[in-house]
Amino acid sequence: MGHQGERDGPSLTLNDRVVLAVLREEPAHGFAVARALAAGSDLGRILTLRRPQVYRAIDRLAALDLLEPIVTEPGDAGPKRTVYRVTEAGVAPLEAWLSTPVDHVRDLRVEFLLKLRLLERLGRGPAPLVEAQRRALGPTLARLTETGGGGGDVVERWRAENARAVGRFLDGWTARPGAG
């Protein structure tokens, strides 16, 4: 997945990165983060994480000092809830990930779409990421659309159609009013 320029930081999973991004929006406890990533939620439409996955990511991010607990609140009907926020050390790897294009067309459906949505939620224009993504995948998209799609090979036809769709999406993004 698109991790160029992130090699010096901690090795984070996609789940880790998404949990970090949700907590960058505002400090929250794990249950609230899980709700933000539940099936049918804004982000859950792209990537659904169950509560145990969210809590594993929070534990891992806290162990890496990318998150810190700031307060403990009483739970509604259960144990106390710890509210976490992103540390200063957590900002750099998150920003690097959010601004880095993905490496493969197949990663656009989840990782790139998450980045676009998270940038919107953080109040930031995605145009720089879209342009970087267009540059990063341009040669691949051109190769796939030129060489695939005409023959009987179902895989090549699929890849060519996906490449065409991705090209239209990236080209159309900057044409949107307020896309910057």
Render pLDDT for 119-175 as a digit per residue (tens, 0 to 9): 999 999 899 999 999 999 989 888 888 876 566 688 888 888 888 899 899 988 765
Would you say residue 23 has pLDDT above 60? yes
- 102 DSSP 8-state letter: P
Answer for the pair 129, 101: CB distance below 8 angstroms, yes or no.
Answer: yes
Query: What does the pLDDT read at residue 9?
Result: 61
Number of C-beta neighbours around residue 87 at 10 A: 15
Q: Quick one: average pLDDT of 19-45?
A: 97
- Architecture of the structural domain at 14-88: Orthogonal Bundle (1.10)
User: Which pLDDT belongs to residue 2?
Assistant: 44
Residue 33 to residue 166: CA distance in whole angstroms? 30
Give residue-wise pLDDT tens across range 70-122. 998 887 777 889 999 999 999 999 999 999 999 998 899 999 999 999 999 99
Cβ neighbours for 114, distance < 8 A, ≥ 6 positions apart:
14, 18, 21, 43, 46, 47
Is 134 in a helix, a strand, or coil? helix
pLDDT per residue as tens digits for the range 41-50? 999 999 999 9
pTM (predicted TM-score): 0.85
Pairwise CA distance, residues 118 & 106, whole Å:
19
How would residue 32 be classed by pLDDT, with cut points 50, 70 and 90? Answer: very high
Instruction: For residue range 52-70, list pLDDT tens digits in order.
Output: 999 999 999 999 999 999 9
The pLDDT value given to residue 152: 67
The two three-digit tokens of residue 47, written as one number: 């990537």
pLDDT of residue 146: 80
